[in-house]
Amino acid sequence: MLQNIVSNIITKIKKQDFLVYFRKLSIIDNSDSKITFGVVSGFMKDNLEAKFYKDILEASKEENPNISEIEFKVDLNIDNPSNNDVVDCATFYKNFVKSKKTTKVSEVGTIEIKPSKTVNGRYSLANFIVGSDSQLAYSACEAVCKNPGKSYNPLYIYGDVGLGKTHLLQATGNEILKKFKDKNIVYTTADKFITEYVTAVKKRSIERLREKYKEVDVLIIDDVQFLSKKEQTQNELYNIFNILYEQNKQIVISGDRAPKELEELEPRLRSRFEWGITVDIGRPDFETRLAILQEKARAKEFMIPQDVAEFIATNVTENVRELEGVLNQMVAEYELSGQTPTLAKIAEKLKKLSFTNDMLGLAKEPQKTIIKSYEDIIKKVSDHFGIETEGILGINRKKEFMVPRQVSMYLLKTKMNYTYERIGNIFSGRNHAAVLYSCKQLEKMIKKDQTLLHEVNTIRDSIGI
């Protein structure tokens, strides 16, 4: 009976909601008109009652028309391996979908489907939170999914760590597989590709490696910057790239910098990365961080008070992984102690993690970005140091101009995600090596000079970045 009810539930609600909110179900009591379902936790009980009571009641009525009421209780015996009257919803869903596919295939004959390799099914374009700094990258991935090998090939996505590059790459692979089930999709990281190449060399099976990649329809490579100083591996990737590109096979790549800035890679490989479209992902704004935090909490079946979520999104600003790390700590503490997160506790936690100095437990108003272009940043820097903008943009090497110039370049690179080449064009046509040197020099200086660090932070606060 329970399995039939769960099958009915699957047909009534979205897949994502089922997999997120339904963990395990049991039947504690079953009378003529009422069913009492057992669930894993009070959190799951509250969500099922609030969100899916009507759907579950209808699903129960389809199995027994006399049912007029359902109830949920925490079943302390639900995780007992000897308890056979329990449905593991995630496993049941997989088997349910598999049985449906088998039925369809048997009607039209056997279909051979090439399996995708190492693409993680939990990543999708649907659960990627799109912000202003990731809109272009997201749209490019959508276009590739509709027409792989023909739209934007190769697609190169770059940005700092923890901003969602891996999510977009894996989601692109999953979306293509969903639309083109015969495609052979391979997702790998640069590190794994290096290991694979070294193993092939040791076993004298390079040709086998090449043959394997020749069969790929979509090749996705993450973190190509780690191919640095691996000349032979770079050469092999260059050959594989050419083979796939000539056959109109889709190639998707990510790195932490734009191709031109990957100076450790061979120029001919970098140039191929630029054959298609290059897009960047910037740091998410407050609204996007808040939405990401809430979505990830929902996926973990964890409820965060709105004021706590806003406080975290205001103070944890660098990347998504940091947000997820704070969320994981909250979930762990709740599971271990049973205490729900409060503003005061989170303020103390973030202070210990060096995210904020605020111990008052009061969420600050989210900073609003008031800059519209690079001119706004340079104007703020020039006003702060009391010099003309022409002096910052010019070639005068006096210290009174050099430090503000380095600060401007540093902010454009780290906070606006401008490429070194673009920054160089702004500053009297300097080459990207000169801009890179200036940014590195400032990083060294602010580590040693607390006064200069304060100056930089003051400028950042005044323009909301």
Per DSSP, the residues of 255-310 read ESS-GGG-TTS-HHHHHHHTSSEEEE-----HHHHHHHHHHHHHHTT----HHHHH
Strand order in the sheet with 24-30: 69-74, 34-39, 24-30, 86-88
CB 66 within 8 A of CB 35: no
User: What token pair was written down for 168?
Assistant: 């977009």
CA dist list (Å): 365 to 287, 320, 370, 464? 12, 20, 14, 11
Model confidence pLDDT, tens digit, residues 420-456:
888 988 998 888 888 888 988 888 888 787 778 878 8
Strand order in the sheet with 218-222: 185-189, 218-222, 250-255, 155-158, 277-280
Q: What letter does residue 388 receive in the DSSP assignment? A: -
Four-point Cα dihedral 352, 350, 20, 61, nearest 10: 110
Position 172 confidence tier, pLDDT thresholds 50, 70, 90: very high
Question: Which superfamily does CATH assign the domain made up of 135-280 to?
Answer: P-loop containing nucleotide triphosphate hydrolases (3.40.50.300)
| Domain 374-463 classification at class level | mainly alpha
Q: Whose CA is closest to 343, among 310, 308, 306?
A: 308
**Alpha-carbon distance 307 to 250, whole Å?**
44
pLDDT at 18 over 90: no
Q: Whose CA is closest to 404, among 38, 158, 412, 92?
A: 412
Return the top range by mean pLDDT from 27-36, 79-88, 192-201, 334-343.
192-201
Of the listed ranges 138-142, 250-254, 316-320, 371-375, the one predicted with least confidence: 371-375
Number of Cβ within a 10 Å radius of residue 105: 12
Burial of 384 (0-12, 13-18, 19+ CB in 10 A): middle
pTM: 0.53
Model confidence pLDDT, tens digit, residues 187-233:
999 999 999 999 999 988 888 888 889 889 999 999 999 998 899 99
252: part of which helix (H) or strand (E)? strand 250-255
Q: Identify the pLDDT of residue 110.
A: 28
Fold category of 286-352 in CATH: Helicase, Ruva Protein; domain 3 (1.10.8)
Of the listed ranges 111-120, 258-267, 324-333, 408-417, the one predicted with least confidence: 111-120
CB 124 within 8 A of CB 171: yes
Fold category of 2-104 in CATH: GMP Synthetase; Chain A, domain 3 (3.30.300)
Percent of the chain with pLDDT over 90: 22
Position 104 confidence tier, pLDDT thresholds 50, 70, 90: very low
Q: Identify the pLDDT of residue 316.
A: 82
pLDDT at 359 over 80: no
CB 17 within 8 A of CB 28: no
pLDDT higher at 286 or 402: 402
Number of Cβ within a 10 Å radius of residue 219: 24
* Domain regions of the chain by residue span: 2-104, 135-280, 286-352, 374-463
Q: Identify the pLDDT of residue 249.
A: 93
Of the listed ranges 133-147, 243-257, 292-306, 399-413, the one predicted with least confidence: 292-306
DSSP-derived pairing of the beta strands 185-189 and 218-222: parallel
Position 252 confidence tier, pLDDT thresholds 50, 70, 90: very high
**Alpha-carbon distance 249 to 244, whole Å?**
5
Beta carbons within 8 Å of 431's beta carbon, 6+ residues apart: 424
The identity of residue 331, as a single letter, is V
Three-state DSSP state, 6:
helix
- Give the pLDDT mean for 87-100: 80
**Alpha-carbon distance 284 to 292, whole Å?**
9
Percent of the chain with pLDDT over 70: 90
- Give the pLDDT mean for 128-139: 86
Model confidence pLDDT, tens digit, residues 21-30:
888 888 888 8
Position 268 confidence tier, pLDDT thresholds 50, 70, 90: very high
